[in-house]
């Protein structure tokens, strides 16, 4: 009798599971979206027979000026979908250039993701769908049939911050089988980001795998720390539990992170096979991470031979009192006098930090401090930062 009961329960569970599978199989949401056409156009679809107005918003559309906590910035445009007699709304783009794009739907003023596209990324607290179209630059963001590196989340002790903290590390293809030592790029995120930002939004693993496979970049370790010193890890990954990510977190730009950055370097150089000298260390970052990069590299003026500022915030606020910000000009001069291989600055023409970077370059020019400068189209956006990574990484450790 007991065996019959167990079989009956098992049979019931299989029926329930099967019914859920059948429900998904025959759901009206089983439509293709996005559909990438041979001519490079893309069709978006969503089943919503009761909706009055549906729009798609994404970075493939003409930009709109938006008010943000950092002032007026370019944001993604919008386009209206049309509904057919079956309740399926659709919109087809013009031909798109090769790129990784993100998008969302707006259904009767409610912004939502595409239920037919399971590929999502988080930027601060916003979750959007993504798709990749074409090759060229976009090909670097794809997973290809090449040797792959390893991505790990590691916890390290930070005595300076009095906590264990989490970071993401990419080790190049063959690291586990090799006895070689490798150079290191420390890659820093922007405000609202964390140790997940570069690996997800920046496609760092795919970019490095492809650049290394093409012989365009040296095999290297890439360390992506969390720059928010009051966090031990990204929201949902640390002791704080699941809470909503915030754009600006206390103490992110007050000098604490810069002053304690050696905790990260010490962990990496104690736990990985690295070439632990200035000529094999690089540091780069976007926005707030560019700010951290600029100040870390001059505060430790003989630690890095390669420095990359991507759309960087530059000078500290007037109320910043940490000793890290003492004698900025003097420490820059020491950094210059110590010598380095590359000081690389990149920014978009419409970036809200453009003028700050222009002023900073004037400071460096007046000092006679050499740098390379790249000016791109667009503003303060991940599309630019991914490109900057693909341009910066091949310049390292040559």
Q: What local confidence, expressed as pLDDT, does residue 65 receive?
A: 64
Instruction: Report the percent of the chain where pLDDT is more than 90.
Output: 83
Average of per-residue pLDDT values in the chain:
91
- Answer whether residue 294 shows pLDDT above 80: yes
User: Which tokens belong to 228?
Assistant: 């928010």
pLDDT tens-place string over residues 31-64: 999 999 999 999 999 999 999 999 999 999 987 6
Q: What local confidence, expressed as pLDDT, does residue 69 receive?
A: 53
Domains of the chain, first to last: 35-134 (2.60.40.10), 145-395 (3.40.50.1820)
- Answer whether residue 5 shows pLDDT above 90: no
- Answer whether residue 27 shows pLDDT above 70: no
pLDDT tens-place string over residues 57-72: 999 998 766 565 555 5
**Pairwise CA distance, residues 331 & 295, whole Å:** 9
pLDDT tens-place string over residues 266-275: 999 999 999 9
Q: What is the pTM of this model?
A: 0.89
- Answer whether residue 79 shows pLDDT above 70: yes
């Amino acid at each position: 009798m007991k065996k019959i009961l167990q079989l009956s329960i098992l049979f019931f569970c299989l029926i329930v599971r099967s019914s859920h599978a059948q429900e998904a199989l025959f759901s009206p949401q089983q439509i293709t979206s996005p559909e990438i056409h041979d001519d490079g156009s893309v069709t978006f679809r969503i089943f919503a027979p009761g909706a009055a107005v549906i729009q798609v918003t994404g970075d493939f559309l003409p930009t709109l000026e938006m008010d943000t906590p950092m002032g007026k910035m370019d944001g993604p445009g919008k386009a209206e979908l049309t509904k057919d007699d079956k309740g399926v709304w659709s919109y087809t783009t013009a031909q798109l250039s090769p790129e990784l794009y993100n998008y969302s739907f707006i259904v009767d003023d409610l912004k939502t993701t595409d239920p037919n596209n399971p590929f999502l990324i988080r930027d601060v607290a916003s979750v959007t769908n993504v798709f990749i179209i074409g090759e060229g630059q976009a090909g670097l963001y794809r997973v290809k049939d090449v040797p792959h590196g390893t991505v790990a989340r590691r916890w390290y002790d930070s005595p300076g911050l009095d906590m264990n903290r989490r970071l993401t590390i990419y080790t190049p293809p063959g690291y586990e089988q090799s006895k070689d030592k490798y150079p290191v790029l420390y890659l820093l995120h922007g405000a609202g980001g964390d140790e997940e930002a570069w690996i997800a939004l920046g496609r760092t693993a795919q970019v490095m795998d492809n650049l290394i496979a093409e012989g365009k970049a040296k095999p290297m370790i890439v360390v992506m720390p969390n720059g928010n010193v009051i966090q031990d890890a990204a929201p949902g990954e640390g002791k704080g539990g699941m809470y909503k990510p915030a754009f600006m977190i206390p103490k992110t730009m007050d000098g604490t992170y810069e002053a304690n950055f050696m905790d990260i370097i010490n962990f990496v150089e104690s736990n990985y096979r690295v070439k632990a000298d200035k000529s094999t260390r690089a540091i780069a970052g976007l926005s707030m991470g560019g700010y951290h990069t600029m100040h870390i590299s001059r505060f430790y003026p003989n630690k890095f031979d390669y420095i990359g500022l991507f759309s960087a915030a530059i000078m500290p606020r007037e109320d910043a009192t940490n000793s890290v910000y003492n004698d900025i000009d003097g420490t820059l001069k020491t950094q210059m006098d110590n010598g380095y291989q590359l000081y690389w600055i990149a920014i978009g023409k419409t970036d809200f930090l453009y003028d700050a970077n222009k002023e900073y370059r004037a400071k460096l020019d007046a000092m006679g401090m050499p740098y390379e400068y790249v000016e791109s189209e667009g503003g303060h956006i991940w599309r630019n930062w991914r490109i900057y990574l693909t341009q910066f990484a091949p310049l390292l450790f040559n």
